[in-house]
Chain A
Amino acid sequence: MTAAQLPLIATLPLLAAALAVLVRRPAIQRALMLVVPAGTAAAGVALLVEHTHTPVLAHHVGGFVPGVAIPFVSDSLSATMLVVTGTTTAACAAFLMATGEDRYRFVPALALMLTAGVNGALLTGDLFNLFVFIEVMLLPSYALLAVTGTWRRLGAGRLFILVNLLTSTILLFGVAFVYGVTGTVTLAALAGVAAGDGRASLAIVVVLLALSIKGAVVPVHGWLPRAYPATSAGIMALFSGLHTKVALYAIYRIYAVVYGAAPAPWVVALAVLAVTTMLIGAIATSGERRLRAALAWQMVSGVGHILLGLVVFTAASLAAGVFYLAHHVVTMAALLLAAGAIEHVYGTGRYDRLQGLMRREPALTVLVVLGLFSLIGFPPMSGLFGKVALVLGVSGADAAPGSLGGWTPAAYVGAILIASLATLVALQRLWVDVFWGPPMTTYRPDDQRTGRGQPTPVTDDVRVSGRLLAPAAALVGVSVAMFAGAGVLLPVAQRAAAGLVQLQPYVEGVLGR
């Protein structure tokens, strides 16, 4: 891939979305929904190969001089994100087809637009353009949240749209402050700008605050466990892999560029927030009595784990954060799709209405067990190396430039362990309630008119079909492959982290100096 092809990764999905509106034939729409995210992932792989010898590719749209132009930038981190988000989106698209949700009006076009926004946000090297692409990503989401659902989903849609719009406005304020203080919104030109400049630091903090709300960092996480479970499983899996993770990617990128090696003066606040996010997410999982609501809290917990890598800010901890991010996207989407398969067939995700699925659905049970293992951090899943790398990364926290003291490694590792234990306890509850126990006698099939059916005796032909299970199985396979291939993948994460620690190649690649 050459630098001039970078904008295509964002524009082609957008054109495909337009095509999906014009051409209403299901076969073509379905092909687009699968091919475009898969193509994104393939482009990400090609970029990763490219970045083994060229660390940064930058394209200045319109041929303006660097510094004035709006750049598209790719390095190992953004390429990794492209691979991860592309793969997850393709699996979610396959699930939407299996449940028939892709036949709702405009769903294929909206999903493709979402891909375009995500790809753009990952590749842009400009703060205002980041705002624009985040909006491109959110606009189809507002529609997707409501389009596949019932009246209840409209309420969740309102919550989601209001929170995200308020956040976007805060982001816009932040971008305006940054431009007012520094006179530029090109990220590369902002390198190290906050060192010794309190005003620039404040402006960046406003931007980071907005991104933290989008990323669901405690204490501004409340919207996520409310809004996400209310939408359909396929859409929730799609969002879980894209929205919060793009926000986290942007936090990683902006924090690294603006503060770099000199840690932010408020890094202690970030440390407290990351640890609290991790713990609150893990502990609150116990309080839920629905599959996807419990998983939503696990998403919050994962956000804390990922941020911890940024707090410590060493090459090892950043690499661990990147690897954990990739693992978390894949695992979470796999579990959500498996939960979606249960809900699609048995009509509910409530613990008290599900029981004894272990004997009814052996294949599904294996997938869910592997997914839960991955969340907790047991082998043979990617979660093991995610947590091992994270523990190893944060154990160097006392030697890092921004060290808060000699006690920090113990505190971080302790917090990770407590979060893992709390997760284990909460997920055991899920396991006991849903998969153990006597076989199910009644279930609630979907009702044509109200969406929520009456209790009906379970017959033998009520089974989760292989087609519903395939996307989750594929993602669990990816997670296992990440475990088996950690020796190959961790160096990729380390290269991505090196791009965050060593800013010189990034700045040179974009600005040419």
Chain B
Amino acid sequence: MILAGTVAVLVTGGVYLLLQRSMVRAVFGIGLLSHAANFVLLTSGGTNRRGQPLSDRTGVAEMADPLPQAFVLTAIVITLAVTVIMLMLAVLGRNDDTHAMPATGESRDA
């Protein structure tokens, strides 16, 4: 339930930020959304019925499912790489609303 609530909050925030015009905010929005996706992935392993994988305390059937954790790890790495690219794009064009072109003399009619 706590995880579900967290996901709801993260998705709400992510969608709100993604709808902003500024690129940096959109980057943060994507970040929140991928966090939400990571939590959903974790939840899909059955967090409500499984515990820590400690061999002397938990039976094999109750141990946490390692596969979703591997998924999340992969997803985190990908998100990190993509965030870097997006921040690069955010830095390169200073004007987020792109009404004015940078001082290259390039016209808008192409």
Contact = CB atoms under 8 A, between A and B. Distances in A.
Given A146-B89, A150-B106, A150-B110, 11 more contacts: A128-B74, A132-B74, A139-B82, A152-B108, A155-B98, A158-B89, A161-B85, A162-B26, A162-B86, A168-B78, A449-B105
Interface residues of A, number: 32
Contact of B110 (A152, A166, A179): A152
A176 B89 contact: no
Contact of B44 (A139, A165, A168, A176): A176
Nearest to B92: A154
A169 B92 CA distance: 24
Contacts of B67: 179
Interface in B17-50: 18, 23, 26, 30, 33-34, 36-37, 40-41, 43-46
13 contacts: A132-B78, A151-B101, A151-B106, A155-B93, A158-B89, A161-B82, A166-B18, A172-B75, A176-B37, A179-B44, A180-B45, A450-B105, A452-B107
Contacts of A146: 89, 92
Interface string B71-93: 10011001001100110010011
B104 interface: yes
Contacts of A168: 78
Contacts of A128: 71, 74
Interface string A451-469: 1100000000000000000
A177 interface: yes
Interface of B: 18, 23, 26, 30, 33-34, 36-37, 40-41, 43-46, 67-68, 71, 74-75, 78, 81-82, 85-86, 89, 92-93, 98, 101-102, 104-108, 110
A172 B108 CA distance: 37
Chain B interface secondary structure, helix, strand, loop or mixed? helix
A152 B109 CA distance: 10
Chain A interface secondary structure, helix, strand, loop or mixed? helix
A166 B30 contact: yes
Interface in A157-204: 157-158, 161-162, 165-166, 168-169, 172-173, 175-177, 179-180
Nearest to B33: A169
A50 interface: no
B106 to A, nearest CB: 5
A273 interface: no
Interface of A: 128, 132, 135, 139, 142-143, 146, 150-152, 154-155, 157-158, 161-162, 165-166, 168-169, 172-173, 175-177, 179-180, 348, 449-452
B98 A176 contact: no
Contacts of A152: 106, 108, 110
Nearest to B105: A450
A161 B86 contact: yes
Nearest to B18: A166
